[in-house]
Every structure is written in C-alpha cells, then in structure tokens.
Structure 1
Amino acid sequence: MSLKKIVIPFVVFSLFSCKTTTIVNKQITSHETPKNVILLISDGTGLSQISSAFYYKESTPNYTRFRNIGLIKTSSAEQDVTDSAAGATAFACGVKTYNGAIGVAVDKTDIENIVEIASSKNIKTGIIATSAITHATPASFYAHTLSRGEEEKIALYLTQSEVDFFAGGGLDYFNNRKDGQNLLNTFKEKEFIVNTTSLSDFSEIQSVKKTGFLLAKKEMPRMEDGRGDFLSKATELGIQFLNRDDSGFFMMTEGSQIDWGGHENNASYLISELIDFDDAVGKALDFAEKDGNTLVIVTSDHETGGFTLSAKNKKREDGSEYSDYAEIGPTFSTGGHSATLIPVFAYGPGAEEFLGIYENNQIFEKILKVTKWGE
C-alpha cells in the first residue's frame, strides 16, 4: 500500500473526527458510565511498532476498530525518558514518580493504585503479562516497592493483594525464593487456586473464588519460541472469570516483550510480539462490542528502540547503497527507551475522554472520572 493511500484517508478522518466521535460512541454503547475497564499496555510500543501490524499482520489489525485516539507524554517525575516502572505507576496510581519506582511517590511513600481502589468497591480485578507477573508493569498495579528489582518482595505483595485473577510467568519468585518461603501455600490460605502448568478452561475455574496462573519460571517464552496464543487466551479467560457476576471489573493485560524486542534491536521479535498483542486487543474489543458497558483502553508506557519502518537499504552491483522504497527494512536508533509521544486508543462508554494530548498519569484520572470509582 502506498503512503499516499494511507495518508489521505487519515487526513479526511482527522477533519471529521471531532464532529463524529460522540455520535459513533453513542451508536456502539448503551451506557454513559462503563461498568468494566480493560487496559491493554503494549510495553515499549510507539507509532512505528503499531504501524508494523499494518504491513506484517496477515489479517486486518484490531487497531483499525478504534475511533477515539489521543496521545500521552511519558516523561517520569525526574527523567525526560521514563522506564516501565515509573510509566506503569503513572497508569496505576495517577502520580508521576522516579524511574524504577513501583507504586510509590518521589518521596517514597506508598500510593493507592487502581486495583486497591476498585477492590474496595467490590469490583473484580485481574492482571495478565507475558513477562513475570512480578515485572515492572504488572507489579505497579498491586505492589509498593522502592525498586522494581525487588521481585521476591513484589511476589509477596501479590499474595496479599485483592487481585482476583492473574496470569503470566515468574514462578521462581514464589516457590524458589532466597528466604525459603513457598508462597504457593500462602495463595491457598487466601482461597486462591494457582495453576503452574497451563491455562484452564473457564468451566474448570468458574466456581472458584480466585485463580492465578504462573506458567514459566521467569518470563513466558517468546512468540518465536512457541508461546502460542497465551496472551489472547488469558485475556479471554480473564474476562470470563471476572465477569461472572454484575459487580464490574478492571483488568490490565500487558504485551511485555514488544519492549524486549526493541531493546535487542530485533525486528522479527518485536513485530511477532506486537501482532500477538493486537490479537489480545481483538479479544477485548469483541467482548466490549457485545457487552456495551465496557471501556477498552490501549496504550504503552514508552517507546523502545527508536524503531522505524524505513525503506530497505540495498546495494547496487558497483557496491553503492540505495534505499529501496518498494520494501521495508525496519531499523533502530537506540537500544534503550525514547521520549516520543505515545498513542492512546479507546473504545466504549467514556472513550471520548481519552482524546487529546495529555500526561500519562491522566490515564488513571480519566478512568476514575468515567467509571466514578473514585467517588
């Protein structure tokens, strides 16, 4: 597809989106206040990473299903370039903090997170990741530590949290600890059924109080190494489990390893993880379309790798180089994070609240505003 074909419809849409967004949302939703919120975070994902799905995914990306799109500024409290811990803490707690902080402010005091707020109102909560469940992004939604590296301490927080459903890796932080504790026993005391082999069918967990899945010693395998559709299945299973009654739910799903592909400057790793994340977005949107009372938000904590879908660099017979505009050759400008603005996609009741350009911690504020959970 030519750039011209992509740009012209985008310009036309931009001209009319301000007038049509509210109408579109009224057509697809039946409630002004969402009962459920699904927040999907594609770690390390900027616009170029998202764009890769439009060139490399064999089916139409689920990103095309959104009509409400905004941008966030991602800088942390003390650094222009954020890390995942500060970025996720902004989402989970509504406060900008220092890089490496998990659920604590710059002064190192604990900040109430959205899982704690929702749980206090008897709203069910769930957390899913393709990293260890104790990694920076998922941890920020239930833990409070001065450093993201304290993963054994973070694991203890999960056993003490009000989270109702979780899925990811990180088993070693629960049953192969330096302190000798086996936190799987602690989960049992908390009426948690924890599976360490595979995702269950919904029928197998439908009647249990709380459930979790720790399916790898550390992180889950890469898509290129055979992880399969874990993220999509876990997202769908989490929705089924949390939606068993009329209490409402909040769920965070993270495509963790898009970030790691960026750090490695490994385009195939990155793109395969991004496409997998887009499949999980599809599961959330499928449910939201049928339910009519669910807000879906898709965003990222930051961009990683300075990823670009550049023209492929080739050589002529005489050895000189040229850019072949007929073929993409993904490139990177850094092995770390960047400070580029990050897209926010929203669907469902309250989606129009996420239009515009704003700070990353306002995601938290906007969720509480539209759900009224903070009242």
Structure 2
Amino acid sequence: MARTNASMRRVRLLAGVTGLAVASTGVAYAADISETGGANRHDGDQTAEIAAQVKFGKAKNVILFIGDGMGDSEITVARNYLVGASGQLEGIDSLPLTGQYTTYALHKGDDPLTTGDDTGKPDYVTDSAASGTGWSTGTKTYNGAISVGLDGTTAHQTLLEWAKTQGLKTGDITTAEVQDATPAVQLSHVADRGCYTPVGQTVTVDGKSQKKDTAKCPGQKSIEEQILDTRADVVMGGGKGWFDAVAANGRSVLQNAQDAGFQVPTTKAEMTAVTKADQSAPVLGLFASGNMQTRYKATPATADGYAKPAAECQTNDTAPDGTSVTWPGTQPTLADMTSKAIGLLDNDKGFFLQVEGASIDKQDHAANACGQIGETKDLDEAVKVGMDFAKTHGDTLVIVTADHAHTSQIINAEDITGGSSVPLAGTYNLLTHDGTVETVAYGTAQLGGSQQHTGTQLRIAGFGPGAANAVGLSDQTDVFDTIKDALSGVGLDPAPSAGTTTKTVTVTKEVAPARLTSAVDSKVRTLAKQIRKAKGDRKAKLKAQLRAYRAVQRQLH
C-alpha cells in the first residue's frame, strides 16, 4: 500500500534529536533512591546514544512482538513485582527508540447511543481483531473483523502474506489458540473472529464441548482452514482441540494439515526435534487443546483484597482443563517457541515473524494480577531472545508493542476507606521485588465479570533498521508501513553522507559546535576508565555506551 508523503513524514520524525525517546543503557548508581539523583535511569546526556541508535537502510528480518492487553499499567505492574520500581525488564525495556500509538477501531454500523450515522467513525475502544487488522493490513476496521474491511468481505493482504510473495520465510506464534484473533490477523480473512471451524462443528476443547463455527462468516472458509491455505513456514501455539472439526472432504482439519505436509509437534520435545520448516514441510505446532497454560497460579481480585497481606505469585500447577500439571509441563515457553522459530526461519533472504504473549489480556479480563504478571514475564523473556538475535544481526528490525490497553491499575490501598472508595471489581496485594506492597485494582466490570479493554494509547518500541518510525505519536496502521517499507527498502530515507547539513540525527562537523565534540571526547575517556574498573552486567552496559559514543566521535572528527 502506497503512503502519501511518506518521506516527508520520516524526515520530520528524525529531525530534532532532543525529541526522541530512548531507553537508557545506563543504570542507577546511587545506592539509595531517596538521595537526589538516586532514582535516575540516565547516566548523563543521552543525545549521542540516541543518534547512534537510529539505523538507516533496509531490514532483512522483522520480529514483531505483541503483548495482548499490555498497556503501560500492565508493564508497570509487572516491572514493580519482578524487578522493582527502579529495575528494568530485560526484554521489553531494552529497546532504545520508543513512542506511543493510537488504537481505535471503526463503527461497523450506527451506534444507537448517538444521533446520526456512526458508520466508519472512530470506535474508541478496540478489540484484538480490529487492532491486529490495523497493523497486519494497514487498514482500520470494526471490532471482531479479521483482516477484512467494513463490509466484512473485502480481504486486505496481510504483512505475512505479502512477505511470502517477496520470498521471505514467515512465522506466527502465540500462547493462545492459533485461531485466536491476534495470530489469525496474519493468516486469515473472516467477518467474525469467532469463525474458528467449518460450519456446524462442535468439538471438545479443554474437556468441554464447544462450538465456534463459520455461521457468522457465510461464504468464507474457517480461520483454521485458512491457516492451512496461507501456509506460513512456522505457526505455533495452542488450539489443537479445534482442529478435530471435520472439513467438507470428511476428514478433520488436523488430518488435512498432515495430508498437506505439515509437521505437527505437540510437545516441547517434538518441537525441539524439528530440523527444518519450509513450504515443503511447514510447522504447525499445537501444544494445548485450547490456550496454553499460564505461568502463575490464579490470584483473582476480591472485594477486600486491599486489606489482605501482600503475597508473592506461585507457579501454576493446574492446566486449563483442570488437570494437575506444573507449568510449563510438556509445553514450550514463549521464549522456547521464539528461539525455535528464529532458528527455523533464519535464511539468506530474510524472514517475518509475529510473536504474541496472549494471556496478559486473558488474565486481566479475569482480574488476576499474578496471572497477567506471569504472562508479561513470558513475553519479556521472548523479547530478550529476539533482541539477542537482532544485536548480532544488524539487519533485523524488532518492534515491541500491544494491541490495546486494559483494566489493571496500581492504587494506594491507604486511600481505600470503605464504602464508595472500594474499587468496583476488587483488588489484590502483591509483595514486590522491592519488598513492599503493590495494590492492583480492577474496576471496568463488576466482581466476577470480565474486565474490559480501555482506549488509551500504547507504548511502541523499536530496535534496528526502521525503528525510528516508532518515535513520537503514530497509529497501529503505521506499523504495517514501517515493516513493509523496511523489508522492501521502498520509500526509505537515504543515509546522510559526511558533511550533510540536513536536519537528521547524524552529527557532522558543519552542524556540531566545538563544545559538543569536546563533550563527546570527554565522555569516551570517562567510559573507558569506568570499564577498566567495572564487572559483569555493568561492564557490558558501559561497553555498549562506549560503542555508541565512539560511533558519534568518528563523525565529529
């Protein structure tokens, strides 16, 4: 899809170095966060580091990480618990260029709550289907739609489908059912996200008889049948029970997959044994009947949770079907799947991979603080796998973001005095890494109900070629263009040559005052001295800073 004035937009985005938001590679050195500067995350001026993180040129590979329901609040809840308020999540917080993006959907028809026709106007709170359609196709649509337009029938080409036409290998992995909305937006086109199976089929999933057929998608194949047709090189997650549905040829969809040459590992051991994934033998990993098991035991919020002692999260020992299984059991973790997918997809031509941490959302719906934290941790570990690969493959773009915001909020339990001050759906007290209480509240549905999505903008972060497009305020649909442009090399800003005077992040002799050159030289000397005395992680971080400053130093001299 062509973009109007794309080059002009990117120039504006790159202009003005001080406007870029960057995650510091520094650490807080003061021992006491109550001291002045003790809670600082930055170790001095970040300008040179920002400049070094803006990468020009084409990307060979793209890894898109999606935390379903992972708003800023969910990230903060997890960070406080896992590493403390002044800590840093190893994966999610490590991407250097950050921004925010909007997520609204569109009204499919008239909203009776307003006067006039609302069709095609913003629906401020999106679901996973509409939001995923935004980044996978560059097109806004209605809630429930999977990569189709407002008419429910016009199919828009997805990033994964486009990548296949370019000769790239492709992958789509999730901790949810592979038929679920976020993985489905790359692999299928249906009017309703619930059209999992061929029409009229009832199957057993997690020990329960369930039906999600194509009754609401007349004339369209089911999501799982389209997964086979799209034939990505790697698809992994849950949802095996739904593949027992019988297709028009009288065979189950799973049998049709095997007949079509798909490898179908169902355990971590079987996944590990897979040695290749291509169009002759694609991988369809199905590791659970429904959604994959969550990391931590459920801790549902209660009406008086704010008054109870703060508690730590415990490893989950119950599978979704109610059987006794200690996580992860025979299932691979999201990090395991990410590592395996990258290994199978890495090739000379490049690849596109989407990775979803799905149950942050599902546990937020259930007002389950430990559940959503565990799923955020899973995604964080997967992002670290992706970043480790990208740091050794300079032609890889990594993007980390979410599909929509959610309910959980961090509140002060001391402010709850009873009566009307008690959150609507309850609270839960966590004992965090800092050794203090974090009270998480849920209030978008009544106690016991399904908590709702919220309509706020979300964090988007990037690393590698094209990551500068994450900076500032964008929309989910911009991600489609960022990824497609990065992989195709079309419409990209040229890398500035030495001596250029354009307003880009490259610092040159013509635009750099002497005091900046002197400051960078001084920083290089200081870092070199600090490295000689540092050890472990601190030494590695200082070396990363030194590389960044030396890159700018070379431009200045």
Amino acid at match of 1:342: L
Amino acid at match of 2:50: T
- The partner residue of 2:229 within 147, 156, 160 is 160
- Counterparts of 1:73 and 1:94, CA distance in 2: 13
- Counterparts of 1:75 and 1:354, CA distance in 2: 18
Partner of 2:475: 359
1:61-103 CA distances to partner (integer Å, 9 max, x unpaired)?
A: 1223111001110110221100000011111111010000001
Over 3 Å counting, the alpha-carbon distance change for 1:205 and 1:175 in structure 2 is farther
Partner of 1:330: 440
Over 3 Å counting, the alpha-carbon distance change for 1:2 and 1:106 in structure 2 is farther
Amino acid at match of 2:358: S
More off after superposition, 47-56 vs 336-345: 47-56
Q: TM-score, normalised by structure 2?
A: 0.60
Contact 1:121 1:373 in 2 (8 A): no
Unpaired runs of 5+ residues, structure 1, are none
Q: TM-score, normalised by structure 1?
A: 0.88
Partner of 2:177: 132
Partner of 1:84: 128
- Counterparts of 2:47 and 2:357, CA distance in 1: 30
- The partner residue of 2:244 within 168, 172, 175 is 175
Aligned residue pairs: how many?
Answer: 362
Contact 1:93 1:114 in 2 (8 A): yes
Contact 1:22 1:352 in 2 (8 A): no
Q: Give the secondary structure class of the aligned counterpart of 2:375.
A: helix
Alignment of 1:15-34 (within 5 A): 20-26=49-55, 32-34=57-59
Alignment of 1:68-83 (within 5 A): 68-78=97-107, 79-83=123-127
- Counterparts of 1:158 and 1:207, CA distance in 2: 15
Partner of 1:349: 465
- The partner residue of 2:351 within 249, 271, 278 is 249
Q: Give the secondary structure class of the aligned counterpart of 1:220.
A: coil
Amino acid at match of 1:352: A
Alignment of 1:1-375 (within 5 A): 9=40, 20-26=49-55, 32-58=57-83, 60-61=88-89, 62-78=91-107, 79-108=123-152, 109-152=154-197, 153-177=222-246, 181-198=251-268, 200=270, 202=272, 204-206=274-276, 209-224=281-296, 225=316, 226-228=326-328, 230-243=333-346, 245-305=347-407, 307-313=408-414, 327-334=437-444, 335-372=451-488
- Counterparts of 2:401 and 2:276, CA distance in 1: 30
Residue 331 of structure 1 and its aligned partner are, at CA, apart by 1.2
Over 3 Å counting, the alpha-carbon distance change for 1:252 and 1:330 in structure 2 is same
Q: Give the secondary structure class of the aligned counterpart of 2:268.
A: coil
Over 3 Å counting, the alpha-carbon distance change for 1:200 and 1:339 in structure 2 is same
Over 3 Å counting, the alpha-carbon distance change for 1:202 and 1:348 in structure 2 is farther
- Counterparts of 1:4 and 1:360, CA distance in 2: 40
Contact 2:148 2:191 in 1 (8 A): yes
Q: Give the secondary structure class of the aligned counterpart of 2:274.
A: helix
Residue 19 of structure 1 and its aligned partner are, at CA, apart by 6.2
Contact 1:199 1:234 in 2 (8 A): no
- Cα RMSD between the aligned structures? 2.9
Residue 54 of structure 1 and its aligned partner are, at CA, apart by 2.2
Residue 162 of structure 1 and its aligned partner are, at CA, apart by 3.0
Residue 290 of structure 1 and its aligned partner are, at CA, apart by 1.1
Residue 167 of structure 1 and its aligned partner are, at CA, apart by 0.8
Contact 1:312 1:327 in 2 (8 A): no
Amino acid at match of 2:438: I
Contact 2:271 2:285 in 1 (8 A): no
Over 3 Å counting, the alpha-carbon distance change for 1:21 and 1:315 in structure 2 is closer
Q: Give the secondary structure class of the aligned counterpart of 2:409.
A: coil
- Counterparts of 1:340 and 1:23, CA distance in 2: 31
Contact 1:89 1:140 in 2 (8 A): yes
The structure where strand makes up a greater share of residues is: 1
Whose Rg is larger?
2
Q: Give the secondary structure class of the aligned counterpart of 1:343.
A: strand
More off after superposition, 202-211 vs 224-233: 202-211
Unpaired runs of 5+ residues, structure 2, are 1-31, 108-122, 198-221, 297-315, 317-325, 423-428, 430-434, 445-450, 492-557
Over 3 Å counting, the alpha-carbon distance change for 1:332 and 1:271 in structure 2 is same
Contact 1:165 1:212 in 2 (8 A): yes
Residue 188 of structure 1 and its aligned partner are, at CA, apart by 2.9
Q: Give the secondary structure class of the aligned counterpart of 1:103.
A: coil
Contact 1:202 1:240 in 2 (8 A): no
Residue 373 of structure 1 and its aligned partner are, at CA, apart by 6.6
Over 3 Å counting, the alpha-carbon distance change for 1:3 and 1:116 in structure 2 is farther
Q: Give the secondary structure class of the aligned counterpart of 2:192.
A: coil
- Counterparts of 2:142 and 2:490, CA distance in 1: 24
1:217-242 CA distances to partner (integer Å, 9 max, x unpaired)?
A: 11111112344351000000000000
Q: Give the secondary structure class of the aligned counterpart of 2:437.
A: strand
More off after superposition, 328-337 vs 135-144: 328-337
Identity score, percent = 30
Over 3 Å counting, the alpha-carbon distance change for 1:315 and 1:136 in structure 2 is closer
Residue 22 of structure 1 and its aligned partner are, at CA, apart by 3.2
Amino acid at match of 2:338: T
Partner of 2:8: none
